[in-house]
Amino acid sequence: MNRPHVAVLIDTTIQRRVLDNASWEALRAFADVRRNPHNRPLVAEELAALLADADGAISGWGVGRLDEGVLAGADRLRIVAHSAGSVKPIVSEALWARDIRVTSAAAGIAQDVARTTVALMQIAIKRIWQYARWTRQGGWRDAPFGPADELTGKTVGVIAASHVGRNVIALLPHFAVGRVLLGDPYVSAERAAQLGATKADLDTLMSESDIVTCHAPTTAETRHLINAGNLRLLKNGAIFINTSRGWLVDEVALIAELRTGRIFACLDVTDPEPPSVDSELRRLDNVILTPHISGCVTQCHHLGRMAVEELRRYFAGEPLVHEVTAEMLSRIG
């Protein structure tokens, strides 16, 4: 069998970010490679030219939609390995109609986000954010905002058994939490138990959890999933974490709840991004606000390795591990 041709669609900056020397060597061991030579995203005509004789492709951040115009001459294309999370920016009806397989590195990003999420739980419950400022001002443990606490014995509510949500649940036993509640309408009680959680409806999760962490996908039905009605159910002193998407949260309602001072929030995502310069989220003392950095930011070579391995498996006739299908799009990010 002739060696497959693989087109690398990401720009040179993203190439350096996700593909290390080992990944390039692994890719060239089974395929002939053509790369985007530019330090910018390709326009549609350039994508079409690069894909014209490709059997497979590596996409990622910045790559445009692979629509009918881009795919018109890509008669040999059989698989696209996405070296980032959501495939929604690149897929199209034309791609599915051609039975082109698609894989994603979302599972790799999920590990990064989950670790950051649990770190934020620790920072928030220990009141590290407040204590750092208090200590800098000359204070010590005699702070007016209450003592540091521990995750031990706490109830953690995880919204959605997504890649990230499942990874968060898997990490929590290391911190001796008391209960993990899982809010996900697509997961049965039995499956929740297998993951290490107890299935709960959203209102129960919000009212009984000491910490709530949000990991639902961006879909039509999750717009403002977190709103005034369920935010007011949070316990006094509860911690709310969002490392998913700002889309999920009614920010006006969240700010109103934060103004009361009775809850604390860790927000790595907002709606819009970045928040306006005069957004209260930038000024409230009970908010940790970070610029969408919970996932991989600089050295993301594990994502490139995942994409290359999926291509290798496909051309070797082995099952794909991280495939995304058209039917999955309505319930994933």
Q: Which of 35, 127, 292, 331 is catalytic?
A: 292
Q: In whole angstroms, what is the distance from residue 309 CA to residue 10 CA?
A: 17
- Catalytic hit among 245, 305, 312, 322: 245
Q: In the annotation, is 292 catalytic?
A: yes
Q: Which residue among 45, 273, 282, 318 is the active-site one?
A: 273
Nearest-angstrom CA–CA distance, 213 and 157: 6
Radius of gyration of the chain (CA): 22
174 flagged as catalytic: no
| Active site (catalytic) residues | 245, 273, 292
